[in-house]
A and B are shown apart, each in its own frame.
Chain A
């Protein structure tokens, strides 16, 4: 009997544990646990966090895409084979559809979009009573989504547009050609319009998007949209309506408290200078914040010169340095700037040169006791001796963080600044035939540049270079025609925003990328032999190829860009 009892005990023990298989998962949350108004702000934060989740080979600063491809910067690094895909992009040779870097930035931007969409999906289930910030937060998320799609759009032209209403299972049905070029711009503009409508003029937390940031970005979107392109990427028309919208939007931003920094350099300095008057929207970085390495500017980490850290990428080109030369009249040397290379013992220059480009013998980041040296360069025989200053900091800054083997920093990256708004407006006015109204805007930028010399001194108190910058004064030092104004505007944008990730997209917008780049190669390859294969293929190289993997994953729903 005892034995039978034993069997029964076991049998009962086993059958009674029907909940034995019901386990609670560890350290994760279910969809239900993250729903509701209490969690809405958290999804919003996670969406912002994506702004800082880039990487040196998929940089959201777009340095390879916007600068290296524009002739403003060399790829840098050890040699051509160091991140070889960027070298191929630099010369437009051997462009392939399967570069991992291109697939990577595509994916990581969509991660940003998916976070914004996730936040919107959460918020959309709420009411304003439950979640008083509802409209503002929706607007912030749409601002971020607009920002991400804008980046994709300027790089890839045709992209699958997915908002928060699309079910995940339907994603692969959405082609990158579901919308036309113009409709895609409109979608991006819709988000910024919504954002501009509901965002407050000033946010209590500095990292959040404000109304003026949205208006500025909307102006930028409409400006790009105004230059209408055909399938082959030729600019076929400039849309006046869109330009007028740009002017209106810029005027609105200019009515805000945003202003140019008194010194150009303040935009690129850490600490108290961050989130200044000119910064309309910036990525906020942090250190000693409880994360393992800090929330650093990972995208620009390779730009640290070898003499300070690693790995000496993103090097200003000789052509760019030469562009800062000024003539005796204080204006750019539009036609002759590149005849001889910059020589500071001879040339006068725009002060923005010394804010933008580190030149051997000059202070590194405004520190006269720390001179940038030729030896800081990794392979000067390949990439010359300049280094990029804007994204870098002084090694003495507590924001300079060792991330072995790299060195990063936590200086904010400005995504859109007030100077941009001024020049958007100037550009629109010029294309509208109102170039005289643009004159004062461009001169406003130049005036600030002229006054931005306070930081540029050697230890003996002398200025680093002989500075000579004048405003455009029609009849005195120039004849202010539309063509001249256009040239001045384009030059001004280059000097002002060099190395900030925009230049190539400017060239494509203006429809001059092919002629500009091929002219650049002709001259520059005599100085940098590695550029000898450089050749821009018109009607193809204006945009990156849709990543091969993505065409595969979409099972052919996505179509490749023209020319690839």
Chain B
């Protein structure tokens, strides 16, 4: 029993060693040692008993001879022990018959010393090669990092947590080579996408798989409490990931949550507050400037004496001495009101204004987060309980995200520790008021419109002649109560039984239950000529239950120099979703628009409703064998066979094999003597993974009764109902339509990946890193290609289409050292690069991804490569206009397009490949410094040359008439080409886009490379002496800032190359916080 206790203790320390790596640099700080002392003192004191013999001594480090604080000393075979004090001293009064003491400390190699007759035992401890002994979760099992043969990146979770983000995956940006993360600034952080090793597929879902405590999921990471995370590992290559078979094609991110350790009693509390603001505002035209641009566009288009637009603008055109027109007046100085039409209800309620709409919709946003965790471990089991409350306001007004989460992770040991049962369960309740999509509108709304009418209550809005864009402030205000609530129960219960020695049977039942509810109120409004006197309520709810039952049998055995680890398993997965919505809407449907009143029951308008369900299952069998010979030669074989309900009988199952080999060259005799080399391992892996991310009914021919059709406001109705009797109202007869043609032969998309990697470490892992090279071929991509219009309905058809290849390399290098005795630093850098190529395309889709439709297509190019015209500058002289190729609409100041095929005519044959949206490389650099109680962290993240398609914004910032002429424009176009401003590269303003400059061309392609100081954090640990007085073991204070500055390409015309479009903008954030451990 005692022995078992010790072994469990050791195991728990080993498991924890993963954590050790991340805080290792802190270990060298004296304060941390003091902290460790306290923690260990607390935890160990419980097991100290009265004794008869006294042993004492000092424990020092072999590295620098410093005294080690907080080393735990345990009598072998007992639960008695102590810890070293701030001077590295210990005194242990023990039983006389105890022969051996075990010295252990996080970050140090455990040492056993025989007591004998000694009363003074001084010990020198050696640092652990932590990176190598770290335990890595690799899929249904764990391995020492030294024994890994796949491409696995272990993320430094402590560094990651320095990013103030709800979404732990958002903070992963720049942390792992080969993992590309794009994100937005929404308060939930839900707009984050993750791509591992390039774009793995053409059409289907390309998100990675997340495995949280053994339970797979594909999203909702913003619902997770980041403080619960103990470790994150990214399995990038197939040899590592293929144990997850069908779901692993896009890589796997394994997340393990915190568990208490035996003997631990710890309470942690943390709090932080952040302020964020919008600093990527695109400079827009003000009221006067908009008028100037409009006038110029009309003049340029041949209008000799342009009038205003009928709403405030009242041009007076004069002439310069050379006869060129000039604008003498933009707005009638006596004009006060925008709306001068007495027949309108809003007559003389809106004053001519100069509204900066971006200022109106954004705010300085405050966020706060509080978390509490209690960890308690005994020899009978361990419990971790945590709670978190987060409330984030967004920098767009009224947007907000709120999360309450609770977690309990516990295990209980039974039958002398041979049976462990436990659970990891989290319950999260999130709520969000989302951005109703105002960025685009804010861009377009005219500055002359006031936010409010003169009474300060009514809404400003467009008058005749303007575009029909809604007042974005109104949209936000009317949306402020439309919050969704989402409740999610996620986790697993498990039992692990040691059947015979070294043979473990584990059964885990995972559950992911979610419940979504949203009540949206639509309020009546009047905003200029836009108005709607209808009001109503829309309720939307969805329930989803996913369960995973996995059973594994694991056998581990070491015979001499041979170590074998065999795993066999089965898994069943089922997902069932149900949704339901109901609406009541009508003119005056609700007499009060109070949120307390607006429920479905209380209204009088027309009711409508809908609902649906979806279901799918997976059945899997898998096996894995790891073999290590003499700690030098490593081999691993994996096979997984998956069956999916999504495929027809013909191809229901897919088999995904993998193998990998490793050679720890530094263990060879010829290298063993080179003490500078602490690690040198060559890894080679090959494997296959599958992808089944299609609709649950993707193989079937589908007929539906589509009574209501889709929402017909912005797209054609698809309804099958018709008033055949001419009765005009009432229930209609309805029929069927086909929405998809079946394909019984549809089969799994398969990725085959080869990986070659080298892990290295020098000077006892002071300098360490890895290099990986991979080739990933994806074939039989599941695609639902666009189709010939003549097919009409039922053109949708899933096929196994193209093949694509990604190949690239990844480098990770770390260096840690110290200057003097108090200054420690640690630098970690990583970079990844890949090239994506489409290697084959079935004939039916050969023209679907760009190309001229005949001779030129995407084959051999990267997926998503832009196809368009080459903008060859502007026509600057009449000679240039006259002597260029025939181009409809060409004129002075207009874009000249390149005659690619040289036939003297600019037409669709002159398009070519003009940009690659895949970045040349991405990188991250983390610098961590510690001096006494202080620590400073700088984190840079960036991407190399990448071609951005900036059409969405640039078509508004550089042109008058490429998009809505009635919309506001960016200030750049004030510098547009005119005969007197002939050096401008911005085309002359025109009333109509007669040169077809809306055509997709290099004009819209921008260099999106950037380097950002993503995070800077200054932290301080309050000295132990001060803490002792107030009975705390650790107090950490910090301030940090995010997105502090950006270095971008000089040629980039936008503001933020990371988020150039109308997505939720990324804010600058400053945070201060405190973490306290009792």
Report the minimal beta-carbon distance from B603 to chain A, rounded to whole angstroms: 16
- What separation, in Å, do the CA atoms of A295 and B722 have in the docked complex? 8
In the bound complex, do residue B787 and residue A53 qualify as a contact, i.e. CB atoms below 8 Å apart?
Answer: no
Chain B positions within 8 Å of A, measured between CB atoms, are 302-303, 307, 309-310, 341, 343-344, 464-468, 470, 497, 499, 505, 507, 529-530, 532-534, 551, 553, 570, 572, 574, 583, 587, 606, 608, 612-619, 643-645, 652, 696-697, 700-705, 707-709, 711-713, 715-738, 741-742, 786-794, 843-844, 846-847, 853-854, 888-889, 908, 961, 963-966, 991-994, 996, 998
In the bound complex, do residue A291 and residue B994 qualify as a contact, i.e. CB atoms below 8 Å apart?
Answer: no
6 further interface pairs, Cβ-Cβ under 8 Å (given A94-B994, A110-B791, A289-B731)? A53-B716, A53-B718, A94-B889, A118-B793, A160-B790, A289-B721
- What separation, in Å, do the CA atoms of A113 and B793 have in the docked complex? 9
| B718 nearest CB neighbor, chain A only | A53
In the bound complex, do residue A79 and residue B733 qualify as a contact, i.e. CB atoms below 8 Å apart?
Answer: no
In the bound complex, do residue A375 and residue B344 qualify as a contact, i.e. CB atoms below 8 Å apart?
Answer: yes
- What separation, in Å, do the CA atoms of A43 and B466 have in the docked complex? 44
In the bound complex, do residue A46 and residue B908 qualify as a contact, i.e. CB atoms below 8 Å apart?
Answer: no
Report the minimal beta-carbon distance from A102 to chain B, rounded to whole angstroms: 11
Report the minimal beta-carbon distance from A535 to chain B, rounded to whole angstroms: 12
| B607 nearest CB neighbor, chain A only | A290
Interface flag for A404 (CB, 8 Å):
yes
Residues of B within 8 A of A43 (CB): 735-736
In the bound complex, do residue A34 and residue B534 qualify as a contact, i.e. CB atoms below 8 Å apart?
Answer: no
- Interface members, chain A 17-76 (any B CB < 8 Å): 17, 20-23, 25-31, 33-34, 39, 41-49, 51-55, 58
Q: Which of A127-135, A377-385, A508-516 contacts B (4 or more CB under 8 A)?
A: A377-385
- What separation, in Å, do the CA atoms of A30 and B533 have in the docked complex? 42
Q: Identify 12 residue pairs between A and B in the complex whose beta-carbon atoms are under 8 Å apart, listed by A's number.
A: A31-B703, A42-B735, A43-B736, A44-B735, A45-B720, A81-B991, A114-B792, A286-B723, A399-B728, A403-B712, A404-B532, A529-B302
State whether A287 and B729 are in contact (beta carbons under 8 Å apart), knowing that A20-B619, A43-B736, A58-B716 are contacts in the complex.
yes
In the bound complex, do residue B965 and residue A29 qualify as a contact, i.e. CB atoms below 8 Å apart?
Answer: no
In the bound complex, do residue A548 and residue B908 qualify as a contact, i.e. CB atoms below 8 Å apart?
Answer: yes
Residues of B within 8 A of A108 (CB): 716
- What separation, in Å, do the CA atoms of A6 and B738 have in the docked complex? 49
State whether A118 and B738 are in contact (beta carbons under 8 Å apart), knowing that A48-B722, A79-B966, A275-B726 are contacts in the complex.
yes
Residues of A within 8 A of B725 (CB): 205-207
Residues of B within 8 A of A289 (CB): 721, 723, 729-732
Residues of A within 8 A of B791 (CB): 110, 114, 168, 171
In the bound complex, do residue A405 and residue B530 qualify as a contact, i.e. CB atoms below 8 Å apart?
Answer: yes
Residues of A within 8 A of B465 (CB): 78, 378-379
In the bound complex, do residue B734 and residue A82 qualify as a contact, i.e. CB atoms below 8 Å apart?
Answer: no
In the bound complex, do residue A171 and residue B788 qualify as a contact, i.e. CB atoms below 8 Å apart?
Answer: yes
State whether A378 and B302 are in contact (beta carbons under 8 Å apart), knowing that A171-B790, A284-B722 are contacts in the complex.
no
- What separation, in Å, do the CA atoms of A399 and B994 have in the docked complex? 40
State whether A111 and B991 are in contact (beta carbons under 8 Å apart), knowing that A25-B697, A284-B722, A556-B854 are contacts in the complex.
no
Residues of A within 8 A of B608 (CB): 290-292
In the bound complex, do residue A47 and residue B789 qualify as a contact, i.e. CB atoms below 8 Å apart?
Answer: no
In the bound complex, do residue B964 and residue A49 qualify as a contact, i.e. CB atoms below 8 Å apart?
Answer: no
| A373 nearest CB neighbor, chain B only | B343
Residues of A within 8 A of B717 (CB): 52-53, 55, 295, 298
In the bound complex, do residue A553 and residue B735 qualify as a contact, i.e. CB atoms below 8 Å apart?
Answer: no
Interface flag for A93 (CB, 8 Å):
yes
In the bound complex, do residue A79 and residue B991 qualify as a contact, i.e. CB atoms below 8 Å apart?
Answer: yes
In the bound complex, do residue A27 and residue B613 qualify as a contact, i.e. CB atoms below 8 Å apart?
Answer: yes
State whether A110 and B302 are in contact (beta carbons under 8 Å apart), knowing that A21-B619, A284-B724, A378-B465 are contacts in the complex.
no
Interface flag for A346 (CB, 8 Å):
no
Residues of A within 8 A of B722 (CB): 45-46, 48-49, 51-52, 207, 284, 295
Residues of A within 8 A of B709 (CB): 53, 291-292
Q: Which of A14, A52, A275, A293 contacts B570 (CB 8 A)?
A: A14
Q: Which of B532, B718, B788 contacts A402 (CB 8 A)?
A: B532
- Interface members, chain A 137-175 (any B CB < 8 Å): 160, 162, 168, 171-172, 174
In the bound complex, do residue A115 and residue B792 qualify as a contact, i.e. CB atoms below 8 Å apart?
Answer: yes
Report the minimal beta-carbon distance from B566 to chain A, rounded to whole angstroms: 15
In the bound complex, do residue B712 and residue A55 qualify as a contact, i.e. CB atoms below 8 Å apart?
Answer: yes
Report the minimal beta-carbon distance from B937 to chain A, rounded to whole angstroms: 48
Total interface residues on A, using CB and 8 Å?
Answer: 119
- Chain B binding surface, main DSSP class: loop
- What separation, in Å, do the CA atoms of A172 and B618 have in the docked complex? 37
| B964 nearest CB neighbor, chain A only | A81
| A312 nearest CB neighbor, chain B only | B464
In the bound complex, do residue A291 and residue B708 qualify as a contact, i.e. CB atoms below 8 Å apart?
Answer: yes
Q: Which of A188-196, A303-311, A434-442 contacts B (4 or more CB under 8 A)?
A: A303-311
In the bound complex, do residue B310 and residue A26 qualify as a contact, i.e. CB atoms below 8 Å apart?
Answer: no
Interface flag for A351 (CB, 8 Å):
no
Residues of B within 8 A of A310 (CB): 468, 529-530
State whether A207 and B724 are in contact (beta carbons under 8 Å apart), knowing that A23-B617, A171-B791 are contacts in the complex.
yes
Report the minimal beta-carbon distance from A148 to chain B, rounded to whole angstroms: 10
In the bound complex, do residue B993 and residue A377 qualify as a contact, i.e. CB atoms below 8 Å apart?
Answer: no
In the bound complex, do residue A550 and residue B788 qualify as a contact, i.e. CB atoms below 8 Å apart?
Answer: yes
In the bound complex, do residue B908 and residue A30 qualify as a contact, i.e. CB atoms below 8 Å apart?
Answer: no
Residues of A within 8 A of B965 (CB): 78-82
State whether A17 and B341 are in contact (beta carbons under 8 Å apart), knowing that A293-B712, A553-B787 are contacts in the complex.
no
Interface flag for A264 (CB, 8 Å):
no
- What separation, in Å, do the CA atoms of A106 and B719 have in the docked complex? 18
| A293 nearest CB neighbor, chain B only | B712
Report the minimal beta-carbon distance from B464 to chain A, rounded to whole angstroms: 5
State whether A553 and B719 are in contact (beta carbons under 8 Å apart), knowing that A23-B615, A288-B730, A533-B994 are contacts in the complex.
no
In the bound complex, do residue A78 and residue B853 qualify as a contact, i.e. CB atoms below 8 Å apart?
Answer: no
In the bound complex, do residue A553 and residue B789 qualify as a contact, i.e. CB atoms below 8 Å apart?
Answer: yes
Interface flag for A208 (CB, 8 Å):
yes
In the bound complex, do residue A28 and residue B703 qualify as a contact, i.e. CB atoms below 8 Å apart?
Answer: yes
Report the minimal beta-carbon distance from B549 to chain A, rounded to whole angstroms: 9
In the bound complex, do residue B701 and residue A30 qualify as a contact, i.e. CB atoms below 8 Å apart?
Answer: yes
- Interface members, chain A 514-557 (any B CB < 8 Å): 529-530, 532-533, 547-556
Report the minimal beta-carbon distance from A250 to chain B, rounded to whole angstroms: 25
Interface flag for A485 (CB, 8 Å):
no
| A554 nearest CB neighbor, chain B only | B788
- What separation, in Å, do the CA atoms of A93 and B733 have in the docked complex? 45
In the bound complex, do residue B730 and residue A296 qualify as a contact, i.e. CB atoms below 8 Å apart?
Answer: no
Report the minimal beta-carbon distance from B585 to chain A, rounded to whole angstroms: 9
In the bound complex, do residue B704 and residue A28 qualify as a contact, i.e. CB atoms below 8 Å apart?
Answer: yes
In the bound complex, do residue A307 and residue B723 qualify as a contact, i.e. CB atoms below 8 Å apart?
Answer: no
State whether A30 and B700 are in contact (beta carbons under 8 Å apart), knowing that A82-B964, A160-B790, A375-B344 are contacts in the complex.
yes
In the bound complex, do residue B715 and residue A55 qualify as a contact, i.e. CB atoms below 8 Å apart?
Answer: yes
State whether A115 and B701 are in contact (beta carbons under 8 Å apart), knowing that A45-B734, A295-B717 are contacts in the complex.
no
Report the minimal beta-carbon distance from B248 to chain A, rounded to whole angstroms: 19
- What separation, in Å, do the CA atoms of A54 and B926 have in the docked complex? 56
State whether A552 and B723 are in contact (beta carbons under 8 Å apart), knowing that A81-B993, A286-B728, A291-B709 are contacts in the complex.
no
- What separation, in Å, do the CA atoms of A106 and B992 have in the docked complex? 25
Residues of A within 8 A of B792 (CB): 107, 110-115, 117
- What separation, in Å, do the CA atoms of A373 and B343 have in the docked complex? 9
State whether A34 and B726 are in contact (beta carbons under 8 Å apart), knowing that A80-B991, A110-B791, A171-B791 are contacts in the complex.
no
Residues of B within 8 A of A556 (CB): 853-854
- What separation, in Å, do the CA atoms of A53 and B720 have in the docked complex? 9
| B797 nearest CB neighbor, chain A only | A168
In the bound complex, do residue A10 and residue B572 qualify as a contact, i.e. CB atoms below 8 Å apart?
Answer: no
Report the minimal beta-carbon distance from A425 to chain B, rounded to whole angstroms: 27
In the bound complex, do residue B643 and residue A21 qualify as a contact, i.e. CB atoms below 8 Å apart?
Answer: yes
| A378 nearest CB neighbor, chain B only | B464
- What separation, in Å, do the CA atoms of A399 and B964 have in the docked complex? 31
- What separation, in Å, do the CA atoms of A33 and B736 have in the docked complex? 11
In the bound complex, do residue B724 and residue A21 qualify as a contact, i.e. CB atoms below 8 Å apart?
Answer: no
In the bound complex, do residue A23 and residue B616 qualify as a contact, i.e. CB atoms below 8 Å apart?
Answer: yes
| B618 nearest CB neighbor, chain A only | A21
In the bound complex, do residue B789 and residue A107 qualify as a contact, i.e. CB atoms below 8 Å apart?
Answer: yes
In the bound complex, do residue B788 and residue A172 qualify as a contact, i.e. CB atoms below 8 Å apart?
Answer: yes
| Nearest 9 pairs of A and B residues by beta carbon | A114-B792, A46-B735, A552-B853, A42-B735, A107-B789, A286-B723, A206-B726, A26-B613, A45-B735
